[in-house]
Structure 1
Amino acid sequence: MKKLLIATGIYPPEIGGPATYVRELEEGLKNRFKICVVKFSSVSSFPKVIRHILFFVIVLFKSLRHDIILALDPVSVGLPSMYAAKMLRKPFIVKIVGDYAWEQGVQRYGVTQSLDEFVKTQQTNKYIKRFQKIQKRVAHEANKVLVPSPYLKDVVMQWGIIESKITIINNAVTIPVNLPIRKKDKNFLVVSAGRRVPWKGFEAIEALRESHPSWQIEIISGRPREEVLSWMKAADVFVLNSLYEGFPHALVEAMTLGTPIVATNTRANKNIAGEFGLFIEPEDGRALENALSKIEKDPIAAKERAQKGRERMKQFELQAMLDTTAHFLDSI
């Protein structure tokens, strides 16, 4: 039985897709691999640089007894894990679910470009260039790069990584059987969910409260996953108004629950939802309002689309992801 070390930035009870993913691997592959999870949270209280050095030391010593190192991001855990793998000559895999340099640029350094524009443009900010250099180096040094969508494969190839090194494995979605029941305060419940980051477009959704006082608009952020899912299930419509999604996990969850969706027409969103959602241009408040009004006026048609879309979500079932991942790891 192969021994797999997983280096992760977050881990339950922390909230987020990577935390859910690592728990799914840990539980779902335990009969096929001996798994050790190394959490960045164990060193996050230390100063910058020091915590990365400490994390490198932890990964290095734990990797002595493992066959494969899998890092779940290319910077915080990816860079220390890469150095540990090189020193020990162990196979190294990095999973990439977004462009860290772009995300930091938008949040901290005034970047206003879309990701598609960003990856094609020479950046001048020294910090952004440093992040780009790190993530490209880690992806280049990895034996394999894992991505959850064709869109992210194209992003990573823009970094100069050859196509044959990149493997696409869909993320999985599991829905608990007994979700809490949410009662609507108004007739039309609009829900969105995710991290409070600039590209999620929450402000445009919240702005509709003034012009549509009969709508109950709920933005769920930083809450336990079951609470988020219960709001999604109760909603008349789930909105994903983001400028960018590498893999729109929340969209898959909403569609698996049979909730009608409105989403921006980014490539990743359209790959997931196909013809079973209403799509709008990013940063178009009028189009967002019109799409929501359409669902409010014709909920039967919206529910019919949602039920058909629910069938499409079977490709994201957990067992399929686990089987594909196990086969991939066995091939390393």
Structure 2
Amino acid sequence: MNSKTQKVLLISGIVFPEIGGPATYVHNLQKELRRKGFTVDLISYNAFTRKLPIGIRHLALWLQLLVKGLFYDQMWAFDVFSAGVPAYFAAKILKKNFLVRIGGDSLWEAYIARTEEMILLSDFYKEKRQYTLKEKLMSWSIRQVVSGADAVVFSTQWMYDIWKQPYQICKDSVYIIENAYVPYDLRNENNNQVVEGQKIFVCPTRETFFKNKKMLIEVFEQLSKPNDDIALDTKPLSHKEHIRRIKASYAVVIPSLSEVSPNLLLDAMSVGIPYIMTKDSGYAYRFPGCGILVDPRSREDLKHAMTKILDPQIYISLKERAKHVRINRTYADVTLDFEHNFLK
């Protein structure tokens, strides 16, 4: 079969213009594949099915996929649980090639949100956990999807190393395709957001347990008493405004228990701003000398890192290294990886 005649159905839990990495990723991948001449369509939950209870909404999407999937050669899911589970079982029945991209770990997130245990993702599967019925179903479903998929795509080797044994993933089906990152060119813009005499730390994070926002705020409140020139900015902004904010900031902070491939780090590196970040990440050692890694379970470690980065000599050294980092990976590059690996 000529590669350009292959029809691909993309399945995602959320879609553009909704805010979220998977929505942006799938939107741009679809656009690039169409530009190259491929027939590509996208399916997701609608306003009604999204409100249904877990399991029932999976069933609703599965029924849709059984019909729509008839007209496509390949089915690609961009979330292992909400999109991957119904897509996998539909693809099996229809005998279609099935790919799943792993962007995070929904089971780990659900477990620590329920128990409020400070467990790193890299430690999560090292011992047996007491799952609820829902979590047992999630674990079983994820194992079925990744062990039975024709291709499993990870954004980092780190995440694959965590999942390969507990989910029995066949090495031959694994592909590492790094995320896209196209920095905004702000070099010719006036940086009028800088507040003279104030050191702004940026951490626009969700109210989710694994993001560890509560600890960050508590540590920051302690530090702000003797340091009245520091401020913490956690407001959500559009991406371009967010990049402008980072360029005007002192540093970014990523205090999450774990992060697979944090875009906030790439945002900071694109404009030469140092970081404080969890050591439990696929990007932990990607930009050495540009920031400080912390144990996110330790309040004292986070406080020490923030105190350390306020030291002028240390900060100048970190910023000097950060401003020489160059990153640029387009969605055309990502699409080319998908095309070469799966649409030959």
TM-score by length of 2: 0.87
Residue pair 2:290, 2:319 contacting (<8 A) in 1 also? no
Gaps of 5+ in 1: none
Q: Paired residue for 1:203, among 210, 214, 221?
A: 214
Contact 2:62 2:86 in 1 (8 A): yes
Matched, 1:194 2:198: no
- CA deviation after TM superposition for structure 1 residue 28, in Å: 1.9
1:38 alignment partner in structure 2: 43
Residues 1:250 and 2:264 are matched in the alignment: yes
What secondary structure, in the 3-state scheme, does the structure 1 residue paired with 2:58 have?
helix
Task: Return the match for 2:156 from 140, 149, 152.
Answer: 149
Question: Residue 27 of structure 2 aligns with which residue?
Answer: 23
- CA shift at 1:303, angstroms? 1.9
Aligned equivalents of 1:177, 1:292: Cα separation in 2: 28
Identify the residue that residue 147 of structure 2 maps to in structure 1. Answer: 140
Aligned partner of 2:169 in structure 1 is: 161
Q: 2:92 aligns with which of 86, 107, 113?
A: 86
Task: Give the secondary structure class of the aligned counterpart of 2:52.
Answer: coil
Q: After superposition, give the CA deviation of every residue in 1:1-31 in whole Å (9 maximum; x if it has no partner).
A: 2211110011122111111111120222212
Q: Does 1:62 align with 2:71?
A: no
1:95 corresponds to which residue? Answer: 101
SS at match of 1:103: helix
Correspondent of 1:52 among 58, 64, 68: 58
Distance 1:225 1:41, change over 3 A: farther
| 1:318 aligns to 2:301 (yes or no) | no
Deviation of residue 181 (structure 1)? 5.8
Tell me which amino acid in the other structure corresponds to 1:20: T
Question: Which stretch shows the higher mean deviation, 156-165 or 110-119?
Answer: 110-119
CA separation of 1:193/1:127 partners in 2, compared to 1, >3 Å: closer, same or farther?
same
Give the 5 Å matches for 1:246-285. Answer: 246-285=260-299
Moved more, 277-286 or 141-150: 277-286
Give structure 1 regions of 4+ aligned residues with deviation exceeding 6 angstroms. none
Three-state SS of the structure 2 residue aligned to 1:238 is strand
Moved more, 284-293 or 297-306: 284-293
1:128 aligns with 2:144: no
- The worse-fitting range, judged by mean Cα deviation, of 114-123 and 159-168 is 114-123
For 1:280-322, what per-residue CA distance to the aligned partner results, in whole angstroms no more than 9, with x for missing partners? 22233333333333333234323212113x22x34x4433222
Aligned to 2:114: 108
- Aligned match for 1:175, one of 183, 187, 191: 183
Name the SS of the counterpart of 1:220 in structure 2: coil
Instruction: Point out the more displaced range, 10-19 or 120-129.
Output: 120-129
Q: CA deviation at 1:65?
A: 1.6
CA drift at 1:87? 1.3
Q: Distance in 2 between matches of 1:224 and 1:80?
A: 32
Q: Secondary structure at the match of 1:196?
A: coil
Q: As a proportion of its length, which structure holds more helix?
A: 1
Name structure 2 gaps, 5 residues minimum. Answer: none
State how far apart, in whole Å, the 1-side matches of 2:35 and 2:104 are: 30
Match of 2:248 among 214, 234, 243: 234
Mapped contact 2:259–2:278 kept (Cα < 8 A): no
Greater CA deviation, 29-38 or 264-273? 264-273
The answer as to whether partners of 1:73 and 1:95 remain within 8 angstroms in 2 is yes
* 1:191/1:217 contact within 8 Å kept: yes
The offset of 1:109, in angstroms, is 4.2
Cα distance change of structure 1 residues 101 and 261 upon mapping to structure 2, 3 Å threshold: same
* Equivalent in the alignment of 1:292: 306
Q: How many percent identity over aligned positions?
A: 26
Note if contact 1:7-1:38 (Cα within 8 Å) is conserved in structure 2.
Answer: yes
Residue deviations 1:111-150, cap 9 Å, x none? 4432222212222223322211110111112101011001
TM-score computed with the length of structure 1 as normaliser:
0.90
SS where residue 70 of structure 1 aligns?
A: strand
2:93 and 2:206 map into 1 onto residues whose CA distance is 36
Deviations 1:45-94 (A, max 9, x none): 33443322221122222212211100111211111111111111000001
Aligned pair count reads 327
Q: CA deviation at 1:101?
A: 1.0
| Secondary structure, aligned partner of 1:189 | strand
Partners of 2:304 and 2:152 lie apart in 1 by 40
User: Separation in 1 of the partners of 2:81 and 2:267?
Assistant: 27
The alpha-carbon deviation at position 185 of structure 1 amounts to: 7.3
- Using the TM superposition, name which of 19-28 and 278-287 deviates more: 278-287
Give me the whole-angstrom Cα distance separating, in 1, the residues matched to 2:196 and 2:222.
Answer: 16
